[in-house]
Amino acid sequence: MSQELIQPPQEDPTEKEIQKFWSEIGRDLVRNSTQAVDETARQVLTVAGILTGLYANAIAFSDLRSELAAAQASAWVYLLPLVAMLLSLSAALLVFVPNRYPLELRSWRSAKIIHSRALRAKYWLLMAASFFLALSVAALLWAFFSYLMV
């Protein structure tokens, strides 16, 4: 006969502490998830806003119009970064638009579902903002090199 049948295996005394630790980490992740997405969206807004301002200022004070006419270059090469930056700004701003969810206060499951939906929507908007910001940087580099080649 096996010893396990006679005596049950002893429990590890640190197992409960480990479970408690990870449960607290999970609670903190859930509690702070909305704030983390909001903070990241603020950073995207800052970067996209600064880039948009600098790029619009550079185009406004450059002699790009005459160079476009002379070189017969496509204007969309220079407009694409601005459009991508504006899309990034729009998506990042939408992260902060409040949404009304019907919440049954007596049901914790309802609160969980609504929190999950709200966080998922914010996350996808943040991902779109980040994608368009990365696209705007790539388009900005393309416009810059196109300008140098003219």
Asked whether residue 1 carries a pLDDT value surpassing 60, the answer given is no
Chain centroid to CA 136: how far?
A: 15
Write down the pLDDT at residue 123. Answer: 95
Average confidence (pLDDT) over 106-128 = 89
Distance set, CA 20 to CA 13, 28, 112, 114 (Å): 12, 12, 21, 26
Q: Looking at per-residue confidence, does 12 or 127 come out higher?
A: 127
Q: Which phi and psi angles does 99 have, rounded to 5°? A: -125, 145
H-only helix segments in 7-150: 15-60, 64-71, 76-94, 108-149
Q: What is the pTM of this model?
A: 0.77
pLDDT in tens, 9-60: 677 778 888 888 888 898 888 889 989 999 999 999 999 999 999 988 888 7
Asked whether residue 3 carries a pLDDT value surpassing 60, the answer given is no
Looking at residue 46, the DSSP 8-state letter turns out to be H
